Amino acid sequence: MENVNYKVLIPIVIYFIAIFGVGFYSMKFVNRARNSNKDNSFMDEYMTGGRDLGGFVLAMTLVTTYLSAGSFIGGPGTAYKEGLGWVFLAMAQMPTGYFTLAVLGKKFAIISRKINAVTITDFLRARYKSDIVVIMTSISIVIFFIAAMAAQWVGAARLLQGSVGLDYNIALTAFGITVIVHTVVGGFRAVTLSDTIQGVIMTIATIAIFIGTIIAGGGINNIIQNMAAINEGMITPFGVTPGNMTIAWVTSFWILVGFAVVGIPSVSQRAMSYKDTKSLHDGIKYGTIVSMILLLGMHLVGAFGSTLVTGIESGDLVVPTLTTKLFPSVIAGILLAGPLASIMSTVDSQLLVASGSIVNDLISNYINPNLKTNSNLSGKISILCTALLGIIIYLVAFNPPELIVWLNLYANAGIISTFLWPIILGLYWKRANSSGAISSIIVGIGSYILFSQIWNRPFGMHTIVLPLVLSLITFIIISKNTKEPDEDVLETFWGIYYK
């Protein structure tokens, strides 16, 4: 511990304590719901925070839930190696909030309240009336989110390792304890409140680090010239690696990190939780602006950092290394709370969704139905399940990959392959049925895993594109040639049912 920079560490520790405080503040709402006599009151509070998010909070929790270690550690790390081409590619994520809230719209929130859905799987169960759909989607959430969360924890530990000098395992343990306790005791309300704080911290930190990088580099023109001197590919849209960032691949990458994020449950679940139409519209505006600042600023820092930082063992360390180099230790510690905030806000949301899938979607439906009417019991099991999941992820993160961005994108692609079409077609297409949803999920996940192994860039595009096309076609064909949805389902989702 003799190499630890305590001046950087102390502001980060204070930040962790503040997050603990938010969790324990929110615990009173969780305890109130757990002791309530109202059916499902605990899960409604623990998973959706009572559905009363305002526009600014909605925007912050939506943006910070999606923008994660991949956007603040792995993304800038890849931009450090590939240059401005990766910055251009990363900006496809900017409309995340817009697409999620605009595509799902008011109907998703109205239906969710109508059927008392607190998870995405609740929505799918009501829409498709299928145990197979529930089990498949719940298992998918748990498996892929464990991979995604492990990637986030690796990013946080590396950030602390690179900036503070902590041993990787100690850093991982400190971050893991903070996330688990904060999420377990406070639930969704703690997550959204901390997301709002973290969103503000992330924005301020991004602007400060970006400005500091430009000043240290002698201005943008000088930085660009220095990047070109390192490698001409650094200042082109196609990156350093020949044939890597082709037009087809970069364009299709937008499918994964742009439109298709609607299919990520921890993101789309936010569209269940806002208060009113004004909150929805404000969330779209604020979310798009904040996403632009965070994505452009931090990825440019990674690319520009190639002229200021050399000799690091991994591109993932460029942001913490650059921050500690440019700023006094205490200020660096405050600013590094920004990337840590982005990681924590993603992980706690994913942890809550994975726990909800196990307790609300599997245990309460197939093992102990009494959970739906016993808020005290469901509360105890949810808290235990969340804690156990956190411990599992902590153990997985002990063997980290070289660049966490790839693990993170792989996990997101698996989730998207599962959920995108069942959510969108279930919401807007009356003919969508359980047979179509099941076949779509099987084809989506199966073809994605297959292509990622044997045909990584079908027709030069990102791996996710063809599986999504195949799963959409399968969904439509199977639904058209099998039984129509029940009349009560159509009445629930569309009001008056017409033959």
Looking at mean pLDDT, say which of 334-348, 403-417, 466-480 comes out highest: 466-480
447-459 average pLDDT score: 84
The residues pairing with 53 across neighbouring beta strands, listed in sequence order, are 274
Average pLDDT of the chain is 79
Q: Is residue 425 domain-resident?
A: no
Q: Is residue 482 domain-resident?
A: no
- Residue-level pLDDT at 474: 96
Instruction: Output the CA torsion 185→189→190→195 (10° steps).
Output: 150
- CB within 8 A of 410, min separation 6: which ones? 147, 452
Q: Is residue 428 domain-resident?
A: no
Length of the chain, in residues: 499
In this predicted structure, the answer to whether residue 272 has a pLDDT above a threshold of 80 is no
- Residue-level pLDDT at 36: 58
Q: Is residue 153 domain-resident?
A: yes
Q: Residue holding tokens 């099998």?
A: 482
- Residue-level pLDDT at 221: 93
**pTM to 2 decimal places:** 0.78
Q: Is residue 313 domain-resident?
A: yes
The Cα 303–Cα 319 span in angstroms is 10
Q: Is residue 60 domain-resident?
A: yes
- CB within 8 A of 433, min separation 6: which ones? 128, 479, 482, 483, 484, 485
pLDDT tens-digit map of 67-109: 665 677 778 888 898 889 888 888 877 777 677 777 777 788 8
HEC-encoded secondary structure of the chain? CCCCCHHHHHHHHHHHHHHHHHHHHHHHHHHHHHCCCCCCHHHHHHHHCCCCECHHHHHHHHHHHHCCHHHHHHHHHHHHHHCHHHHHHHHHHCCHHHHHHHHHHHHHHHHHHHCCCCCHHHHHHHHHCCHHHHHHHHHHHHHHHHHHHHHHHHHHHHHHHHHHCCCHHHHHHHHHHHHHHHHHHHHHHHHHHHHHHHHHHHHHHHHHHHHHHHHHCCCHHHHHHHHHHHCHHHHCCCCCCCCCCCHHHHHHHHHHHCHHHHHCHHHHHHHHCECCHHHHHHHHHHHHHHHHHHHHHHHHHHHHHHHCCCCCCCHHHHHHHHHHHHCCHHHHHHHHHHHHHHHHHHHHHHHHHHHHHHHHHHHHHHCCHHHHCCHHHHHHHHHHHHHHHHHHHHHHCCCCCCCHHHHHHHHHHHHHHHHHHHHHHHHHCCCCCHHHHHHHHHHHHHHHHHHHHHCCCHHHCCCCHHHHHHHHHHHHHHHHCCCCCCHHHHHHHHCCCCC
CB 133 within 8 A of CB 125: yes
Q: Among 82-86, 162-166, 239-243, 338-342, whose mean pLDDT is lowest?
A: 338-342
- Residue-level pLDDT at 304: 94
Domain extent at residue 155:
6-402
> How many domains does the chain fold into?
1
pLDDT tens-digit map of 219-240: 999 999 999 999 888 998 888 8
In this predicted structure, the answer to whether residue 367 has a pLDDT above a threshold of 70 is yes
Q: What percent of the chain has pLDDT over 70?
A: 83
In this predicted structure, the answer to whether residue 185 has a pLDDT above a threshold of 80 is no
250-269 average pLDDT score: 76
Q: Is residue 334 domain-resident?
A: yes
Q: Among 253-262, 288-297, 390-399, whose mean pLDDT is lowest?
A: 253-262
* CATH assignment of the domain containing 64: 1.20.1730.10
The Cα 115–Cα 122 span in angstroms is 8
Greater pLDDT, 53 or 164? 164
Token code pair at residue 306 = 């190639």
pLDDT tens-digit map of 398-450: 765 555 455 555 677 788 888 899 999 999 999 999 999 999 999 998 888 88
Q: Is residue 442 domain-resident?
A: no
In this predicted structure, the answer to whether residue 169 has a pLDDT above a threshold of 50 is yes
Residue 498: band (very low, low, confident or very high) from pLDDT cuts 50, 70, 90: very low
The Cα 121–Cα 366 span in angstroms is 14
Angle between helix 329-356 and helix 55-66 axes, rounded to 10 deg: 90
